[in-house]
Amino acid sequence: MSGLDTKAAALVLAALLLLGVWGTWYFLADPALFRDGLANLQRFLIRVGSLSFPPLGKLIALTGMTLGIVVLGTLLAALLSVPVAWASAAVTAPNGWIRSAGRFLGVLSRAVPDVVLAMVFATIFALGAIPGILAFGLHSIGMISRLFADAIEQSEAGPRLAIRAAGGTKWQEFTSGILPQVFPSWVATVLHRADINLRGSIIMGYAGVAGLGLEMRNAFAIMDYSLGLGIAVVMLVLCVGMEVVSSTARHRLLGLGNARRRSARRANRPPYLMAASVTALIAASIWVCQIGWSDLAISWEYLEKTARSFWPPSTGSYGMSRFLGAMGVTVSVAISAVLVSLVGSLLLGSFAARNVAPNRGVRSISRLLLIVIRAIPELVLAIVLIVVFGLGAPAGVLALGVCGVGLLGKLIADSIEENPPGPEIAVSATGATRLQRYTAATLPGVRRAIIGHVFYLLDTNIRAATILGVVGGGGIGYYLLTASQGSRYGQVTLIVAMIVAVVMVVEALAMWVRKVLR
């Protein structure tokens, strides 16, 4: 039986590979594309001339607003994720029904792209920060609650059982037995998500959410490339800064053996400092986002009317085949981009691994390259590539493919370094060359891990490809944007349903293949 499963999984892999090769060929194997692209790039660079930025005061206000939206949205998601994680973790869920419900909520929130949520909220609330905060707040629950639940399930059972043995309630088990164990990992997860949301904040501009994203979109819309790219550079700097802050903090939080020693007096005091800093952060974020009570006021009558207009789903004047075709393009873009990333990642990721790189210099340079690539927000790259290659899928494939190397390359490098060194030494001992050792011992050792990482990337790429369509990278995203801008909410419902279905299918497929090929 398991042999049959393995064969089926291998077939799925082969089919995906074929689709990826075909897609890459179809989208990219056009000499005119790169010939025209080069000419466009020249024209683009001439038009850019030099970078220009908004006036300093405005720039600071915009940056503050973008950061504020990210902070508030991520914190909101963290708060909402606690009950979802509690419900979906095996050790805390009261029963199977609640557990399934919790997991479904997580998957659902992950499947609806944040930009779609922002578009919906923008129709309910006034334009400004609120739609962005709510969109991040709801969409991030998917990832945060999943990782929170994983942390709960990986925590040691001993302390929990000890509290139960001492007559504690379930609630006490959670607060005293689990929470102290998982807290560092939870904070790390939230920081990681804040990092992701900051990159995502660019797209929020396309949904009308205030901040740097909106400013950049407006600049590109009036073909003020130098201002657009100037804001992109600001965004890049912000992303690199956030990456450094969050990865340093995560390292310290999750690093072993650096448990802080605290005096008994401090241990007996409530964590005033932490509470004060979090409160201050929230207050500052609300202030920079210029949120007032009036923003929260919604006209219930209008809300009801809007809600009604989302039903029934409709294809409008397009017809279903048009939507299905566009969805197919989105999926092909995602798969082709995975293939592009895989080729780059195998190369760069291998050289970034200590046990493959010929020397330290090569490893350091490769690691640095991976960090730089990871810092580039894919949307910024996509927007630039769209200017160069024109609207459509090729720009999407290239943007996703290049940015995917940052993530996949790092995962592959880490897997290769974690691979037990014994077999590699044994193959070296037979007199094999470095390349022979790489194919005979290193690659077979990490094959399964790489398949897992590839599916993880495919999973993220499907969502990212949808969003890229919004900025003009081809596929269903374009129809989503026009439907939402034209207030044709029946179409929005249909498109979102299609996206959710595809994301769920891919996620289920990924889970199944990873389980079978473990």
Task: List contacts with another protein (CB under 8 A).
Answer: 422-423, 425-433, 435-441, 443-445, 447-448
| Number of other residues whose CB lies within 10 A of the CB of residue 452 | 19
Distances (CA, A) of 83 to 89, 142, 176, 181, 191: 10, 12, 16, 17, 19
C-beta of 260 vs 518, nearer to another protein: 518
CB of 431 to another protein, least distance (A): 3
C-beta of 223 vs 426, nearer to another protein: 426
| Number of other residues whose CB lies within 10 A of the CB of residue 150 | 16
C-beta of 96 vs 420, nearer to another protein: 420
> To 10 degrees, what angle do helices 225-254 and 360-375 make?
120
CA distance 513 to 272: 47
Longest dimension (CA), the chain: 79
- DSSP code for 206: G
CB of 11 to another protein, least distance (A): 18
C-beta of 441 vs 465, nearer to another protein: 441
CB of 335 to another protein, least distance (A): 23
CA-wise closest residue to 343 among 11, 10, 15, 17: 17
C-beta of 252 vs 448, nearer to another protein: 448
CB of 19 to another protein, least distance (A): 22
CA distance 238 to 241: 5
In 3-state terms, what secondary structure has residue 433? coil
C-beta of 265 vs 518, nearer to another protein: 518
Handedness of CA 500, 501, 502, 505 (dihedral sign): positive
CB of 429 to another protein, least distance (A): 4
C-beta of 405 vs 441, nearer to another protein: 441
For residue 503, what are its two tokens? 């994301």
CB of 434 to another protein, least distance (A): 9
CB of 452 to another protein, least distance (A): 14
Amino acid at 457: L
Q: How many helices (H) and strands (E) does the chain have?
A: 24, 0
| Chain-centroid distance, C-alpha 255 | 24
